[in-house]
Structure 1
Amino acid sequence: MIFKKRFINAVIICTFVAMGSSGQVKIKRTDIEDISNSRALMLDVAFTEIVNRHKINTAGVALIKSRQVVWLNHYGFQSPGVPASTNTLFNIASLTKTITAETVLKLVAQGKLSLDESVAPYWLDPDLKDNLNVHNLTPRMLLSHMSGFMNWRYFADDGKLDFIHKPGTSFGYSGEGFEYLAKYAENKMGVSFDQLVQATIFDPLGMDNASIIVDKKLFNRIAKPLDKKGNFYGYYCHPQGYCSKEGSYSAAANLVISVADYAKFLISSMNGDGLPPKLNNDRNTMQGIQFTQREIDCGDTNDILCPIKLGYGLGWSMSLLEDDMLIGHRGTNWTVVSIAYYYQGSGDGLIIFFNAPNKAGLAAMIDALELLDPDSPEIHGYKLRLARSH
């Protein structure tokens, strides 16, 4: 598959799909096969084989039918000698953004925040103090990746945050945008963002196995990140030596959570809990357009669903299909490959968390998706990413 005119930033995990050589969309069912007792046994054996073949350190998976978890399991080891279990916490990388987004949206629903006000009165990054564009920046733009920021400021030659596009004019996936959003929320509310997440999302849903802050007390429960040689650099650490500090948080990455708790959260989001209908519809409407059908050359792959458009709603990745919408998010770092999504029409979805070296996790994700949802529009994107990792 070739994307015309636009280069795909390697940090962004996009969804891709297939179209027949005639250019006609092949319509498939947007649901996931139910779990009988025999299928559950087959999946358990097959998933064990995937984990072993790709040498995945830790895996957690859940399958959702009609907004209910029907299969949940764990594979590999939480740490050497400790099998993965319901007690295991996974770093889910950029899936953290979905928790941040739902926190902000619920506070909007409560009248405490606004999607369309300027964030400047509540947060002004020192790098932007003389930039007039900052006054036009709104929470809606930050949630839909229309902020105009690059992904992370450290990609800039001078290491400073700046606008590469005027706010609201162009899509650009940005972790910086979500960190900025959290600063706006906590400054306007006068409450630290981690406390807002706890009070708005975790406590109401009974999510006792999730943390957005770095907490040493949880380290023994976190799936231990090991590179392909088995090296351990520390929890919340990068091989180059940087580690997140105790008590710090990231609104864009590094939340740790159990599979079961993320399933609670995903189903709550599917149901639109705590959001009035208009805001829920806004959340589930693509507002940041990443790729249109004209910009996608799907080649001659005919075995998966093909979106008409790819982009983001308010915090969530979206693939617009011929007769449905796929809503979710992906996360990737050097030892995380994670995904969660659902089909809006059927309420069927899945969650897959891999704690594994990046290349191994990408390869295993392809096999896992082909096993659980063989016509998933996510499959080809992972194949492209795996090819780029060589």
Structure 2
Amino acid sequence: MNNSSIGERLKYQRKIKGYSQEELADRTNVTVRTIQRIEKEEVSPHLNTIKLLAIALDIEVDELVALDDPKEETVKKKWLLLMHATPLAGLILPLLNVLIPLFLWIHKREDNPVYNEHGIKVINFQITVLILAILSFISLLTIEKWGFFIFIFISVVPICIGIMLFNIVYVVQKNKCYYPFSIPFIRLKKSRTFVLMALMGMALMGSCTAQKLETIERLDSSVITKDSVTAKIHQLMEDANIYGTAISVFNDNQPVYKEVFGYKDYPNRIPFTDSTNIYGASFSKAVFGVLVMKLVEQGVIDLDTPLESYLPQKIYEYEPQTSWHDDFSSLKEDSLYTKITARMCLTHTTGFKNYRWFEEDYKLRTHWEPGTKFGYSGEGFIYLQVVLEKLTGKGLEQLAQEYIFEPLDMKNSAYEWKTRFDKDFALGHDEDAKALKKDKDNEPRGGGTLETTAKDYTKFLTAVLNQELISKESYEEIFAPHIRIKTEKQFYEGEGKITDKYDDINFGYGLGWGYFETPYGKAVFKEGHGSGFVHHSVLFPETGKGIMIMTNFENGNSIFKELLEVILMDTYTPWEWENYIPYDKK
């Protein structure tokens, strides 16, 4: 009890009634000496004494002494410590830095004004911090990229943690707190409506961020949820009898969806993972195109000088060092190959067939004037590779590791089989889901021996979208239509038929990558097919969007058309030219 207030109030009430100390003593059993000592604040009277004095003065007890509010408990440091310390849980789970002190404040604010004051200050500070964190994350996913994100997590977060630790100590020592930079979302005198509005606004911001994280933006700016994408992939795989697939989707130049489905070995039901080795087939050519441009930047070679002129002797005069691919002895009788340049090799205009075994006599030769028309050819890539190896004194595998795989931390990628791949590799499967024997004897070839993983090749495509490894000018050279494609199909009976059906997309080929145009800018693609593996990737550099599909089933391409349309709204890819006939149309 407050002794001074009791003494002053007793004196005040006695004089109002006109009693002397002696007269008041006569009306009670309280002695004059006790009344004197109470008024001089020398004693703290018992409650019974106060009641007797109140009856004599004809007043209520609380007019002499302020009784404690039964709802207002004595301040307990444990509640203040909980309010100030529990927001640190937000470092583990977002939103807990606000939700826990909010719960404590709602529970304790009416028990004591101190709880109410401290709770409001903590909540205002934590909401401010949360908004900064949300804004930084949104900026990372959209416009501001890493700058604001790094500012928040390197500068603001340590400061905020320091402020919280300071207040934990301050409240223990002084029962006080201090939170600078707080936005006053909740004020001591504000209505509950304002509080609810602030909390609803915070929840809305959180839900918008969550929606951004759980959706994929398509070419036309519409969105599809990741759950819907996953469900569609499962449905298509089941309907088409495809039991192994890896898919990555890109927004804003970054992978926003990376999933693997099914089995690397279907007969034995061994699951796929994103680190499972996958035969990359002609994905090799996309990587090789970037590698060649790296060497062009270094002055090792240029795109338009005939390759023959770089060598001190004729290509057919060199003793073969491999089982077959560097044997060019048949070109001794060829009069056109000397005109072939690096650009012609990368744009499939050398005049070579895809591979020499498509020739009746298995001998490599040119079939038309190099550079004049498109004809898909892995042999052109081999020719360029062999020349580069002779110029640099390094093998393809060494060059690729040095300039592509090691800089991108693609630890499970190579142009040749590595013994470390034995522990986790996928088998190709035919259309009847029968596993095919894995070919581990490949010698490095830039057109088709890439071994990689879904994780690694996603890293490569991310680097391409962000124009890493080589200059912007080099990417512009790669992603330009160097030759128009006029054939109905890439292979088979349609490869010799001329058509104008793809003129509206300016269909052509760049340096190691296919090319077409859309209302959303250029598109560049690369596919791969061999040994029971079928893959497709397409990037839209001007939008930052793209997709990678890898399958280990011969019929995998029967779901590509629908996947492109559903996931990205890509209705522009020339799927008939690629022979991506849907499974339900065969």
TM-score by length of 2: 0.55
AA partner of residue 290 (structure 1): I
Question: Is residue 2:388 matched to residue 1:193?
Answer: no
2:561 match: secondary structure: helix
Q: How many Å apart are 1:45 and its aligned residue?
A: 2.1
AA partner of residue 300 (structure 2): K
Change in CA separation of 1:230 and 1:104 when aligned onto 2, cut-off 3 Å: same
Partner of 1:240: none
Match of 1:69 among 250, 255, 274: 255
Listed one character per residue, the Cα deviations across residues 167-210 of structure 1 (whole Å, up to 9, x for unaligned) are: 11222111111111111111111101111111110011111121
AA partner of residue 47 (structure 1): I
Q: How many Å apart are 1:318 and its aligned residue?
A: 0.4
AA partner of residue 457 (structure 2): Y
Higher relative strand content = 1
Partner of 1:158: 361
Match of 1:60 among 228, 240, 246: 246
Question: Is residue 2:341 matched to residue 1:138?
Answer: yes
Match of 1:260 among 432, 447, 455: 455
Match of 1:274 among 441, 462, 469: 469
Change in CA separation of 1:189 and 1:31 when aligned onto 2, cut-off 3 Å: farther
Alpha-carbon separation, structure 1, partners of 2:486 and 2:221: 26
Q: How many Å apart are 1:273 and its aligned residue?
A: 2.1
1:106 match: secondary structure: helix
Q: Which moved more, 1:197-206 or 1:371-380?
A: 371-380
Asked if structure 2 preserves the Cα contact closer than 8 Å seen for 1:60 and 1:353, the reply is: yes
Q: How many Å apart are 1:274 and its aligned residue?
A: 3.5
Alpha-carbon separation, structure 1, partners of 2:223 and 2:415: 33
Q: How many Å apart are 1:356 and its aligned residue?
A: 0.6
Q: Please show how residues 187-226 of structure 1 align to structure 2 within 5 Å.
A: 187-226=390-429
Q: How many Å apart are 1:268 and its aligned residue?
A: 1.5
Partner of 2:235: 49
Q: How many Å apart are 1:59 and its aligned residue?
A: 0.6
Partner of 2:321: none
Asked if structure 1 preserves the Cα contact closer than 8 Å seen for 2:219 and 2:569, the reply is: no
Change in CA separation of 1:31 and 1:267 when aligned onto 2, cut-off 3 Å: farther
Query: Which aligned runs of 4 or more in structure 1 are off by greater than 3 angstroms?
Result: 29-35, 121-124, 228-233, 292-295, 382-385, 387-390
Question: Is residue 2:450 matched to residue 1:249?
Answer: no
Identical columns (%): 25
Question: Is residue 2:546 matched to residue 1:349?
Answer: yes
1:108 match: secondary structure: helix
Match of 1:175 among 359, 373, 378: 378
Q: How many Å apart are 1:146 and its aligned residue?
A: 1.5
Match of 1:316 among 480, 505, 513: 513
Q: How many Å apart are 1:232 and its aligned residue?
A: 3.2
Change in CA separation of 1:256 and 1:312 when aligned onto 2, cut-off 3 Å: same
Q: How many Å apart are 1:92 and its aligned residue?
A: 2.4
Asked if structure 1 preserves the Cα contact closer than 8 Å seen for 2:534 and 2:556, the reply is: yes
Question: Is residue 2:330 matched to residue 1:127?
Answer: yes
Listed one character per residue, the Cα deviations across residues 231-264 of structure 1 (whole Å, up to 9, x for unaligned) are: 333112xxxxxxx625x12211131212221121
Alpha-carbon separation, structure 1, partners of 2:368 and 2:517: 25
AA partner of residue 305 (structure 2): E
Give the structure with higher Rg (CA).
Answer: 2
Asked if structure 2 preserves the Cα contact closer than 8 Å seen for 1:225 and 1:235, the reply is: yes
1:325 match: secondary structure: strand
Gaps of 5+ in 1: 1-28, 237-243, 299-305
AA partner of residue 97 (structure 1): K
AA partner of residue 272 (structure 2): A
Question: Is residue 2:274 matched to residue 1:86?
Answer: yes
Match of 1:112 among 300, 304, 319: 300
Q: Please show how residues 9-48 of structure 1 align to structure 2 within 5 Å.
A: 30=219, 33-34=222-223, 39-48=225-234
1:222 match: secondary structure: coil
Change in CA separation of 1:334 and 1:114 when aligned onto 2, cut-off 3 Å: same
2:305 match: secondary structure: coil
Higher relative helix content = 2
1:328 match: secondary structure: strand
Change in CA separation of 1:136 and 1:70 when aligned onto 2, cut-off 3 Å: same
Alpha-carbon separation, structure 2, partners of 1:292 and 1:130: 29
Alpha-carbon separation, structure 1, partners of 2:223 and 2:402: 34
Q: How many Å apart are 1:131 and its aligned residue?
A: 2.4
AA partner of residue 161 (structure 1): L
Asked if structure 2 preserves the Cα contact closer than 8 Å seen for 1:119 and 1:139, the reply is: yes
Gaps of 5+ in 2: 1-217, 317-327, 489-497
Q: How many Å apart are 1:334 and its aligned residue?
A: 4.9
Q: Which moved more, 1:370-379 or 1:313-322?
A: 370-379
Alpha-carbon separation, structure 2, partners of 1:350 and 1:207: 19
Q: How many Å apart are 1:339 and its aligned residue?
A: 0.7
1:235 match: secondary structure: coil
1:339 match: secondary structure: strand
AA partner of residue 549 (structure 2): I
- What is the CA RMSD across the aligned residues, in angstroms? 2.6
Asked if structure 1 preserves the Cα contact closer than 8 Å seen for 2:278 and 2:451, the reply is: yes
Alpha-carbon separation, structure 2, partners of 1:276 and 1:364: 35
Alpha-carbon separation, structure 1, partners of 2:582 and 2:250: 29
Q: Please show how residues 230-245 of structure 1 align to structure 2 within 5 Å.
A: 230-236=433-439, 245=441
Alpha-carbon separation, structure 2, partners of 1:379 and 1:93: 20
Alpha-carbon separation, structure 2, partners of 1:128 and 1:341: 35
TM-score by length of 1: 0.80
2:563 match: secondary structure: helix
AA partner of residue 215 (structure 1): K
Change in CA separation of 1:163 and 1:387 when aligned onto 2, cut-off 3 Å: farther
Alpha-carbon separation, structure 2, partners of 1:54 and 1:249: 33
AA partner of residue 214 (structure 1): W
Alpha-carbon separation, structure 2, partners of 1:354 and 1:116: 36
Partner of 1:328: 525
Q: How many Å apart are 1:42 and its aligned residue?
A: 2.0
Q: Which moved more, 1:309-318 or 1:88-97?
A: 88-97
